[in-house]
Amino acid sequence: MHELGRYLFDSFLGTLTDVLPIVLVILCFQLLVIRRRIPNLRRTVLGFVYVIIGLSLFLVGLEEALFPLGEAMAKQLTDPAFIYAGIEAIGGAVRWQDYYWIYMFAAAIGFATTVAEPSLIAVAIKANEVSGGVIRPWGLRAAVALGVAFGIALGTYRIVTGTPLQYYIIAGYVLVLVQTIFAPRMIIALAYDSGGVTTSTVTVPLVTALGLGLASTIPGRSVLVDGFGLIAFASLFPMITVMGYAQLSEWQARRGHKSENP
């Protein structure tokens, strides 16, 4: 319990140093340039206090409970002893099919951590508000989470097979470009943004542990070269799924419209 208290204090200090530059910038401009009172000052300050305390608790909880367990699981799942249990290792060669539990874990943990990602929740709330309720927060978050799930599963496949990261990323970009031409204009900015917000507090540590664990247990992979890059997958694919989600709902709406007025 004593240790938990220390963790809480450290995390609180960490969040505070994270917020401090922002508060300073805001205060400077508010006092020197805008020179107006902040509307609802007390409520705003209270909001900042909530954010700092909330984020500290959130991080401590993650570090206490989820990260050690998730990292231990990533390590165990990537352990050759687990993967080759019951399978005879064929001449020491890596067969990508044997890693199916890892792909499943990658997809599942990618989906689950994205749903809990606080910055994505923030963007989803804003998008719902701005679109007048057309974009439902859960629809957006599910689309993003599916993208992350697929991206991370593909990223682990890449580490297992050892194919170069660049090819995947460039192919992904080409797909994003093509979709940009055809997707409804309203969704494009939001789709681009959702790539950046998926990878933060919850997703990054777990996914990094998975990537480093995989790269260190598979023969012939370098931790430093192959261990990274999963985050890039996790920020690329949500753009594709969010635009896809918008395209799909537009297509459905058009089809429904057509069948009503033949």
Residues 73-132 that bind other proteins (CB under 8 A): 73, 76-77, 82, 101, 105, 108-109, 111-113, 115-116, 118-119, 121-123, 125-127, 130-131
Q: Is 228 among the residues that bind other proteins (CB under 8 A)?
A: yes
* Tokens representing residue 198 in the block: 């998926």
Q: Is 195 among the residues that bind other proteins (CB under 8 A)?
A: yes
The H or E element containing residue 26 is helix 2-28
Q: What DSSP assignment string belongs to 149-161?
A: HHHHHHHHHHHHH
CA neighbor of 59 nearest in space, from 94, 27, 13 = 13
Q: Is 47 among the residues that bind other proteins (CB under 8 A)?
A: yes
Where b means 16+ CB within 10 Å and e means fewer, 12-49 reads: beebeeeeeeeeeeeeeeeeeeeeeeeeeeeeeeeeee
CA–CA separation, 156 vs 169, rounded Å? 14
Q: Is 153 among the residues that bind other proteins (CB under 8 A)?
A: no
Q: Which is nearer to other proteins, 6 or 258 (CB)?
A: 6
Q: Is 213 among the residues that bind other proteins (CB under 8 A)?
A: no
In the list 5, 44, 84, 251, the residue contacting other proteins (rule: CB under 8 A) is 44
Q: Is 235 among the residues that bind other proteins (CB under 8 A)?
A: yes
Total number of residues binding other proteins (CB under 8 A)?
103
Q: Is 175 among the residues that bind other proteins (CB under 8 A)?
A: no
